[in-house]
Chain A
């Protein structure tokens, strides 16, 4: 572009050169402004991503030399590892149950809060509180509630229901993890959906009311379609985080009993930092990444059927 300009007219040549010099100066400034960020991103983000992929094709065990083993880790995961299918099943089970319950409860709370005449913001804060507290502390408190002889046992015996020790029961342990995760995580989506409901123009609802639409119809035909993009956003984000669940499981069950609550996040920790199988753990990490991508892609594909974009 500059060459064409230069050959066309001589007087603009010096101007172009000056502009060029300014561009170079600005580029240099940009470089220095970006440098701290770039060093950090390369060292702590780009290199680790690539290293993780390379590691997943080795059998490195922290001590000794890594050896290239091709797809052996991935083959082992899906064929000979006795635990991996259980881990995968647990992760998907947790994600499915948690995701559905989280969206239903948070949407319900959001709608309920938006129906209030006074004190909306205080209810929002209350349900949001656990979101801002350490997941570990939350899990420890709930562990005490679910401990043998704890408050949950007391409640169950008060209504004379016989329940085995929750955290050491094959099926109940996972349910306890889901309950704790819901308590800790439902607040963000509640505020998110409540904010979206606040943005629904009041005159739409008023017009529908005058036309005789019931509250039920107004919800399903007006409010829900109008907040569906936000609902979609919340669903995608919640799915991504729930596939990575770790803190609650580390505290409450350590993946047990047996491997009843071992998830992908926990397996990465266990293989990597208890058995020091860095290569093998990296291959689990990439399975998790693939799963996150697949689930997100699936949701983007499904959204055409239910998300209503207002252009």
Chain B
């Protein structure tokens, strides 16, 4: 922008009319620049206000409980009690809940990825009777709201004797049909020639899947893992129902356990809430490009 206006000024010395023109365009450019800065600043302010609950959570996590609902309201604690995080981690015990959440989320993600790769490959590359009908059935199940299945799923888990166990929380949510569909779509985009050579050499389908297809499918596997992990990490109703013992509670469930107690330890709860939000926030920032691209894919598919 500056070079073009400089160019314009050097040219403008040739005639009077172009001189006045260039000063006008210069002031206009200056005005658009000012408007641009104002525009950025205004949205920046909105973004800051939007981030306030995060700030409020951390600010309340590191103060004494007496200062949490003190009047007048304190924006910042008088003393920063950073060891509240350590206390919440060991005493409440958010460390245990964190571990439980990790076990559940990682297990569900691992099972989902393996099962989805296998079934997605069958849908994409293998011929068998009723394939298209079965795929349609899989897609149709995506419309069923999760909350509808809560009651029968609990009854099944109960009859299998898996209430208050990790397998009881993990297994019923690890076989979603979305992964099979996602992996199928991705596998279809891999050229057939890449596996034909291996087939002529006599490699089994499983071997082809593991050593040729899966390494090429890391973007899709990464996406499936990310959204499965976050979905499980944030899941509440299902672990609430299955994990009846407080030792086995996941983080979201654990957060609600202390809510009703007398003299709620708000500062520790806020510390626990901060801990529960950390993985998602870190992943959202590090993987912003992957997330944006996957959502952009949805935006593009919406047009079809």
Contacts and interface: CB of A to CB of B under 8 A. Distances in A.
Interface string B57-85: 10010000000110111000000000000
B50 A49 contact: no
B180 A33 contact: no
Which secondary structure dominates chain B's binding surface?
A: helix
Interface string A6-43: 00000000000000000100110111011011111101
Interface stretch (B18-26, B216-224, B252-260): B252-260
B150 A272 contact: yes
A293 B145 CA distance: 10
B205 A29 contact: yes
Interface stretch (A67-75, A161-169, A283-291): A283-291
Interface stretch (B5-13, B190-198, B233-241): B233-241
B151 A272 contact: yes
Given A44-B175, A52-B152, A36 B119 contact: yes
B285 interface: yes
Interface in A50-64: 51-52, 55
A5 B61 CA distance: 77
B127 A23 contact: yes
A309 B280 CA distance: 35
Given A133-B234, A133-B276, A147 B303 contact: no
B47 interface: yes
Contact of B277 (A137, A229, A251): A137
Contact of B298 (A26, A192, A286): A192
A112 B270 CA distance: 32
Interface in B272-304: 272-273, 276-277, 280-281, 283-285, 288-289, 291-292, 295-296, 298-304
A258 interface: no
A41 B122 contact: no
B102 interface: no
B234 A134 contact: yes
A112 B123 CA distance: 42
Contacts of A195: 292, 295-296, 298-300
Interface string B119-146: 1011000111101001000100101111
B119 A198 contact: no
A230 to B, nearest CB: 4
5 contacts: A33-B121, A136-B276, A149-B73, A183-B50, A269-B237
The 10 closest A-B pairs by CB, nearest first: A40-B175, A233-B302, A132-B280, A48-B152, A37-B119, A195-B296, A136-B252, A30-B126, A51-B152, A33-B122
Given A116-B39, A286-B148, 9 more contacts: A33-B119, A39-B175, A45-B175, A49-B148, A136-B252, A191-B292, A229-B304, A268-B150, A272-B151
